[in-house]
Amino acid sequence: MNRRLAAAGLTRRDFLYGLGSTLGSVAFTGLLAQEEARAGKLAAKEPHHPAKAKACIFLFMEGGPSHLDTFDPKPKLHELHGKAFTREDKFASAMASGNRYYVESPFKFRKAGSLGIEINEHYAHLADCVDDMCFYRGCVGESINHPTACYHMNTGNRFGGDPAIGGWVTYGLGTENENLPSFVVLPEVSYPQGGAANWSNGFLPADYQATPLRAQGSPILDLQPPEGVTRAEQRANLDLLARLNNRHEQTRASHADELAARMATYELAFRMQAEVPDIIDIAKESEATQELYGLDQDATKDFGRRCLLARRLVEQGVRFIQIYSSGWDSHDYIAKAHAKRIEAVDKPIAGLLKDLKQRGLLDDTLVICSGEFGRSPDNGIRGGSVAYGRDHNAKAMSIWMAGGGVPRGAIVGATDEIGDRAVECVHPIKDLHCTILHLLGLDDNKLTFFHAGRFKQLSQVGGSVISELVA
């Protein structure tokens, strides 16, 4: 029967769903539920097609880094700097209103890599990695408000409430290590705008939400059992709790999913006590490795610690890891603000790429670096003079990727001569999401979940893979 279904392009679940609300359908659904419960929702699953990447590390620069001042220099702005424009100006931003002026970049750029790709000169360490990176300049968003733009990039939905991309990846592929979460987030002390909804499970079962690790102190609290409590006693307590929860579940079917997820979390926490302490103990890394990530410098040690932890998690089979860096919202004083942020992430990110490469992990680990939007080539007046800063711009941004099946040492797409709009290889965020899933072996059109009367997917209404981003 399975062969006939395959020939018809159907899965077993598709066939059962098509039977409707018959007694046979209910019985079969019950059997499938039992089968899934035995295997576990997070059991490893086969990808839809051969994957180029097994894991993803997503570096999220929250606040909207300026593409014009990092990886997409525009010499034309030097010529136009300080000049006012109106809406009739051929270069005018679509957002232009009032007294606005062109703003050149306060930074110098350097040529890096075998192709001489231009990047901000403050990326002194990342310059060594350019030949392993692909710079995509054609992505466009839909929102210029931080929370909605963050939600859009992280979940595909500007208004929140949908599963994060890491949740979709876990839903599609499961986990390679049952003793660790499959989706891990490494935030700063202050969460990004929009908060934890940026890594929520949304309408997916609760099993697919991210596990955030603390930015300071122990990444996970209470990893060790209380003093005087043995693992055997913990195991007995969990077994008792499971029996009580199962009894409770029988009378509250409407909350069965949340209860089951909570029970699974207790079990995962018990298993994590054995494995996690060793993983998060970065002091075991060599002095050279710690220096590679910048753990020996105050400016870089916090972000470097999270990048190093991400590498250790990937080694242990964690599927999707997201690392946050805030402070990129530079409406003025961009020379000081962006330089400080670049200093904080440059060495750690370069260390991550170099470390992954030397350990043979970069080929099958997709590394992505993006903010929620780009910045405008113009700005208003501050203190009676043109401010060196930029406003929000959803129609142009720079995203770079490395490893995991993307072209190396390449530039894909382009913005216009002042960096206001993407003009080549232009794609919406949903296409970027489809591409990320594709590189991980998942098809957005097949990765669906039935909710609120229809099958839903990460791209919302369907997107396409950006072929230029696939090597």
d(CA 140, CA 466): 13
Average pLDDT in the 83-94 region?
60
Q: How confident is the model at residue 54 (pLDDT cuts 50, 70, 90)?
A: very high
Q: CA-CA distances (angstroms) from residue 429 to 123, 181, 247, 447?
A: 26, 26, 45, 17
Contacts 24+ apart (CB under 8 A), 102-105: 102/77, 102/377, 102/378, 102/418, 103/77, 103/377, 103/378, 103/379, 103/386, 103/387, 103/388, 103/389, 103/390, 104/77, 104/78, 104/80, 105/66, 105/68, 105/69, 105/73, 105/74, 105/77, 105/78
Mean pLDDT of 57-63: 98
Question: Where does the pLDDT of residue 94 fall: very low under 50, low under 70, confident under 90, or very high at 90 and above?
Answer: very low
pLDDT at residue 313, as a whole number: 95
> Which pLDDT belongs to residue 281?
84
Q: What pLDDT, on the 0 to 100 scale, is given for residue 351?
A: 98
- How sure is the predictor about 83, in pLDDT bands with cuts at 50, 70 and 90? confident
Residue 391 is predicted with a pLDDT of 93
Q: What gap in Å lies between CA 346 and CA 369, rounded to an integer?
A: 12
Is the pLDDT at 63 greater than 60, yes or no?
Answer: yes
pLDDT tens-digit map of 102-139 = 999 999 999 999 999 999 999 999 999 999 999 999 99
Token representation of residue 300 = 């870089």
Torsion angle, alpha carbons of 346, 77, 94, 463, to 10: -40
pLDDT score at 290 = 97
How many whole angstroms separate alpha carbon 431 and alpha carbon 136?
Answer: 12
Round to whole Å and give the CA distance between 399 and 186: 20
The pLDDT assigned to 442 comes to 98
394 has pLDDT over 60? yes
Distance separating alpha carbons of residues 318 and 205, to the nearest angstrom: 19
Mean pLDDT score of the chain: 86
pLDDT (0 to 100) of residue 136: 98
Q: Does the global pTM surpass 0.75?
A: yes
- For residue 447, pLDDT over 90 is answered with yes
pLDDT at 216: 74
Domain covering 54-219+279-426 in this structure, CATH number:
3.40.720
* Range 431-440 average pLDDT: 98
Average pLDDT, integer, range 168-194: 93
Q: What is the pLDDT of residue 239?
A: 72
pLDDT for residue 22: 47
Is a pLDDT exceeding 90 seen at residue 254?
A: no
pLDDT of residue 24: 46
Report which of 277, 280, 414, 290 is spatially closest to residue 347, judged by C-alpha positions: 290
In the sheet with 399-402, reading across from the earlier edge strand, the strands are: 211-212, 183-186, 320-325, 55-61, 365-370, 399-402, 133-136, 410-412
Highest average pLDDT, of 92-96, 172-176, 273-277, comes from: 172-176
Is the torsion defined by CA of 153, 156, 159, 161 positive or negative? negative
When mean pLDDT is compared across 41-50, 226-235, 440-449, the lowest value belongs to 226-235
Give mean pLDDT, residues 22-32.
43
Question: Average pLDDT of 205-226?
Answer: 78
User: What pLDDT sits at residue 6?
Assistant: 55
> What integer is the mean pLDDT of 446-451?
97
Q: Which residue has the higher pLDDT, 228 or 46?
A: 46
Whose tokens are 């955030």? That residue is 212
Q: Mean per-residue pLDDT for 211-229?
A: 73
Q: With residue 401 as reference, give the H or E element that holds it.
A: strand 399-402
User: Does residue 315 carry a pLDDT above 80?
Assistant: yes
Q: Average pLDDT of 337-358?
A: 98
